Amino acid sequence: MERGKPSDDAMARHGRRLRRGVLLALALAATVLCIPAADAAQAAPQSLEFDIAREGAVVGHHHISFRQDGDRLVVHSELKIELAVLFVIVYRYQQTREEVWRNGRLIALASTADDDGTPHDIEGQAGPDGLRMSSGAERWTLPPDSVPASFWNVSMVTQKGPLVDSLTGRILNGQVVNLGPETVRAGGRDIRATHYRLVAKRQRDIWYDAGGRWVKMRAIARDGSVAEWVLK
């Protein structure tokens, strides 16, 4: 063996140490990459875009967008419905709504609505005793585990907290019933979804896919007609 040249055994030992170092680095990287989702920043859900159909005609649209702001999820909703008879608008409903969530809990909301000429403006902020609501001069407090019945959030049918009417900001007197899996048309294709029914003054049937995404709704209007939210 030449002076200064490593032996075959020394080179083999060096190769084994190098491989062990690479494997250890890969293991550490995998540990970092496998942080539970609850501890990592969550990606905002995809926007939802619905046509609202009544008696086969599109009478409105509902758009919901999501934005991650640090540890907060900001949800913005725009809803507009217009019913016309012989080209004359006989009913109009518009609502702009924003919700702010942190760690699965509602911490703020604001809604401005025009229900065919009747305004409904509500605001709420989380406080030590619950969600402190206001509408004009009125003030009231909702339980801290309240869930707004704004339909995009599957927790409104799976959690035990009280439901809150998305128009008035008051506790909704209703019951949710799980009607089981069904195949529905949403987003231009057939998908498997779970069918829930909100039994209240005005009944709602709501469908969520396996990932908890809102994909369809059927609502009974004041005049007894049926409107359907169809995911585009």
> Model confidence over 110-153: pLDDT tens digits?
999 999 999 999 999 999 999 999 999 999 999 999 999 999 99
Q: In Å, how far are 60, 204, 208, 224 from 197, measured between CA atoms?
A: 22, 6, 11, 17
What mean pLDDT, rounded, does the chain reach? 84
- Would you say residue 84 has pLDDT above 70? yes
- Would you say residue 215 has pLDDT above 80? yes
> If pLDDT is split at 50, 70 and 90, which confidence band does 6 have?
low
| Mean pLDDT, residues 16-39 | 38
Domain regions of the chain by residue span: 8-38, 41-231
- Would you say residue 87 has pLDDT above 90? no
Higher pLDDT, 87 or 197: 197
In degrees, rounded to 5, the angle at the alpha carbon of residue 46 between the alpha carbons of residues 42 and 52 is 145
Higher pLDDT, 20 or 163: 163
Closest C-alpha among 65, 143, 48, 63 to residue 99:
65
User: Residue 130: which residues within 8 A CB-CB, separation 6 or more?
Assistant: 141, 142, 143, 144, 146
| Mean pLDDT, residues 218-229 | 87
Whether the CB-CB separation of 145 and 130 falls below 8 Å is answered with no
DSSP string, 81-147: EEEEETTEEEEEEEEEEEEEEETTEEEEEEEEEEETTEEEEEEEEEETTEEEEEETTEEEEE-TT-E
Q: What percent of the chain lies above the pLDDT cut of 70?
A: 81
- Would you say residue 157 has pLDDT above 60? yes
Give the pLDDT confidence score for residue 42 in this predicted structure. Answer: 55
d(CA 101, CA 37): 17
- Would you say residue 14 has pLDDT above 70? no
pLDDT tens by residue, 164-186: 998 999 999 888 999 999 999 99
- Would you say residue 44 has pLDDT above 90? no
